[in-house]
Amino acid sequence: MDVCPSSRTDWNDMQARIEIVGSEIHMAGEWTISGLADLEGKLAELPLSGATSVMAQDIEAMDTAGAWLFHRTLQGHGLGIAGLKPGHAALVEMIASLDLAEKTEPQSRGVLEKMGVAGWQLLSQLEDMLAFIGEVAIALVHAAANPGRIRWKPIWHNLQHAGFDALPIAGLLSFLMGIVIAYQGAEQLARYGANIFVVNLVGLSMLRELGPLLTAIIIAGRSGSAFTAQISTMKVTEEIDAMSTIGISPMEQLILPKIIALLIALPLLTVYADIMGVLGGMIMASFDLGVSYTDFIDRFGSSIRLSAFLVGVGKAPVFAAIIAVVGCFQGFRVEGSADSVGRQTTKSVVQSIFLVIVADAIFSVIFSLVQL
């Protein structure tokens, strides 16, 4: 290619040109990738059938893109080509000799087929999920039967990261939620002079519902996503296969510790969130409704039954199991690329939050049936 180095940077100055003089087509300029944009349109309208020969001696430079355009334009017209520089001719010849046998693009699917495929994928994912839950359950039973095989180190590690490290954010959000509930209730309650009932409002809603739910959602976003990202990355880099070949079961090393750690951590976090939430409500009640701290605590002891607290904390292990199982399951479904890791992580968070809320709704139905 006879492109001088300094001219290479002036991308817009180089243009390929084409002119028709009688029955001759004159080609000139630099047939390189930077100069082809205009030419492409012109070539399409070129009356090639009337021409007899091509004068190419003024083509100053040519690269593979230019050679291809040259070849494609003149292909099959049987025109005499004169004056093409030997280097350029060789390039055109090389391009012409390439095997570009067009393989048709895989047919895109119709709407009906897409729906079918999506439905089928959903079903098969459900089946895989059930199988995974089964595997986890078996492994848990095995672990309970041989406690010596439980790997404590990763459990501690996960407790630290999924539990202890989440204390500030879970505490702060519950505290704010307590403030919000007390504030929202304050106006309505004050209207009836029922200020003291703010204790029931804050206490029941935090202990029964919001404490466990809020904590579960935070942990799903924080730790469920981390589980998926870790496992899927390890799978992409074949670390999980390596683990299996060394004789370490990924189930024992990766999955069980996460599930066990979350089963321990989430109820504890829920208790902590309950305390912080009620504290927030208490501060707001004294600030906005004039309910003093001592009144609040007195009333709390007499009006909130232990069962409210137990109902809330009792849900936490179920939420924990959902988050950990979905997180690990989605991690294992990764398909070989960096792109897929991100997709699986999103899926994991969305699914675990969805399932946590569904489970919460089911709990509400059950509790109302048994009148808890």
Partner 1 sequence: MSEAILEISDLCTSFGNAVIHDHISLEIMRGEVFAIAGSSGCGKSTLLREIMLLQKPISGSIRVFGKEVLGLGDMEALDFRKGCGMMFERGALFSSLNVLENVGLPLQEHTLLSQDLIEEIAAIKIALAGLPASAKFKYPGELSGGMRKRAALARALALDPELLFLDEPTAGLDPLSASGFDELVLHLKRSLELTMVIVTHDLDLLWHVADRVAFLGDGHVLGVGTMMELSESSHPLIREYFYGPRGRAAREQAWKQKSTTR
* Contacts to partner 1 by CB under 8 A: 1, 3, 5-6, 8-9, 11, 32-34, 36-37, 40, 63-65, 68-69, 72, 87, 90-91, 94-95, 98-103, 105-106, 335-340
Q: Containing H/E element for 58?
A: strand 53-62
- For 178, the token pair is 């307590």
- Closest separation in Å from C-beta 353 to partner 1: 25
Q: Between 95 and 259, whose beta carbon lies closer to partner 1?
A: 95
Burial of 356 (C-beta count, 10 Å sphere; 0-12/13-18/19+): buried
Q: Between 158 and 345, whose beta carbon lies closer to partner 1?
A: 345
Q: Between 22 and 106, whose beta carbon lies closer to partner 1?
A: 106
Count other C-beta atoms under 10 Å from residue 214's C-beta.
Answer: 20
Q: Between 103 and 153, whose beta carbon lies closer to partner 1?
A: 103
- Integer Cα distance of 278 and 197 in angstroms: 13
- Closest separation in Å from C-beta 83 to partner 1: 20
- Closest separation in Å from C-beta 129 to partner 1: 23
- For 29, the token pair is 């300029």
**Do 272 and 334 touch, CB atoms closer than 8 A?**
no
Q: Between 40 and 127, whose beta carbon lies closer to partner 1?
A: 40
Q: Between 103 and 191, whose beta carbon lies closer to partner 1?
A: 103
Q: Between 94 and 362, whose beta carbon lies closer to partner 1?
A: 94
Residue in the structure block whose two tokens are 């046998």? 101
- Closest separation in Å from C-beta 87 to partner 1: 8
Q: Between 68 and 319, whose beta carbon lies closer to partner 1?
A: 68
Crossing angle for the helix pair 36-45 and 64-74, to the nearest 10 degrees = 0
- Integer Cα distance of 364 and 372 in angstroms: 9
- Closest separation in Å from C-beta 8 to partner 1: 5
- Closest separation in Å from C-beta 20 to partner 1: 21
56: DSSP letter: E
CA-nearest of 308, 289, 298 to 205 is: 308
**Do 276 and 171 touch, CB atoms closer than 8 A?**
yes
**Do 166 and 269 touch, CB atoms closer than 8 A?**
yes
108: DSSP letter: P
- Closest separation in Å from C-beta 56 to partner 1: 19
- Integer Cα distance of 99 and 114 in angstroms: 34
Q: Is 303 left (phi over 0), alpha (psi -120 to 50) or beta?
A: alpha
Q: Between 106 and 147, whose beta carbon lies closer to partner 1?
A: 106
- Closest separation in Å from C-beta 344 to partner 1: 13
- Closest separation in Å from C-beta 113 to partner 1: 18
Length of the chain: 372
Helices (H), 237-337: 239-246, 250, 256-284, 293-303, 306-332
